[in-house]
Amino acid sequence: MVTKNFEIRGNFDEIALRDWIVHRSTVLGLDISVHSLARNAISFCATGHMVLLDAMEIACSLGPSDAIVDHIQSTELNAKKMKTKK
């Protein structure tokens, strides 16, 4: 499992985008925590499999139809290696 911090800036209703992010993370099976919510800026952490975190980043860059995302940055915070059994 991996945790990434996401920072999003653009022209959007931050409450509506936050709700959309929470819904999308549920669909993808990610655990999230919103850290900051300001006019035209959102910061949150998400934990899950790397492929699903990448899908979240792409989804956020596209956003809902009424959101214009100018900037999205994701930073990996930690990585836990999955052990495979043979």
Q: How do residues 4-20 score in pLDDT, each as one tens digit?
A: 999 999 999 999 999 99
pLDDT cut 70: percent of the chain above it:
90
Token pair, residue 60, equals 């956020």
Residue 83: is its pLDDT beyond 80? no
Q: Where along the chain do its domains lie?
A: 2-79
CATH of span 2-79: 3.30.70.100
Bridge partners (DSSP) of residue 2 are: 48, 79
In the DSSP assignment, the letter for residue 82 is P
Q: Tokens standing for 19? A: 């709700």
Task: Work out the mean pLDDT of the chain and round it to a whole number.
Answer: 91
CA pseudo-torsion sign 13, 28, 72, 3:
positive
Task: Provide CB contacts within 8 A for 45, sequence distance 6+.
Answer: 3, 4, 5, 6, 32, 33, 35, 77
